[in-house]
Chain A
């Protein structure tokens, strides 16, 4: 089945540690996105990538980093510079043009202790 996978579903880390969230898609989509979701805040865009080896900052990129070395993969690293990293992180992909539907993964809930 085609889709987007995110792993792990739940992640616990100590304060000050970097952590990498995985996002893989087998939909052959060109574009991929990372969002952060906090209760009552909706979704906020962290980074997006339209093509391999290229990505752009979203609205809340500070304290995060990404890479796009393969079309299928778009990992997100939450660095120690992110002041409040505890949140639900959602990865999405779309075929490519900006009016295309974005398809979402199941999410990773990160808790920093």
Chain B
């Protein structure tokens, strides 16, 4: 079974500052990982994902995440945030060999970007 922990429930940051949203996971098998973003009263949208291969994955809007197997982490980073990045971010983990649908979501981190 897998579990995922998002260490910060809320992260306030000023516009143009860098940000890191932390995600740690636990699993007895190899994992694949996702970051999703949710704007108020909407569904989730995929931001980026790691399946295998290069441990650094990037999104089209400047976010990146690095899979670190030794630290069991998949932290999300952006070097300079915009007001429009204000949203809730969810990390999710699945295990290779597990049953489909067994995607475990973290409790979310609310990113608040202030002018």
**Which A residues form the contact surface with B (CB < 8 A)?**
4, 6, 31, 33, 35, 40-45, 48, 50, 56, 58, 90, 92, 97-99, 101-107, 109
Contacts and interface: CB of A to CB of B under 8 A. Distances in A.
Given A90-B44, A107-B41, A102 B107 contact: no
Nearest to B94: A98
A31 B105 contact: no
Contacts of A92: 43-44
A109 B105 contact: no
A44 to B, nearest CB: 8
B42 interface: yes
A22 to B, nearest CB: 14
Given A98-B94, A101-B34, A107 B42 contact: yes
A42, A56, A101: residue with the most chain B Cβ atoms closer than 10 Å: A42
B107 A40 contact: yes
A45 B101 contact: yes
A104 B44 contact: yes
Contact of A42 (B45, B46, B51, B105): B105
A40 B9 contact: yes
A65 to B, nearest CB: 16
20 contacts: A31-B100, A35-B105, A42-B105, A42-B107, A42-B108, A43-B92, A45-B101, A45-B103, A48-B101, A97-B100, A98-B98, A98-B100, A98-B102, A99-B96, A102-B44, A102-B103, A104-B36, A104-B45, A105-B43, A107-B43
A99 B32 contact: yes
Contact of B101 (A58, A105, A109): A58
A8 to B, nearest CB: 13
Given A99-B32, A104-B36, A107-B41, 5 more contacts: A40-B9, A43-B90, A45-B102, A90-B43, A92-B44
B90 A42 contact: yes
Contacts of B90: 42-43
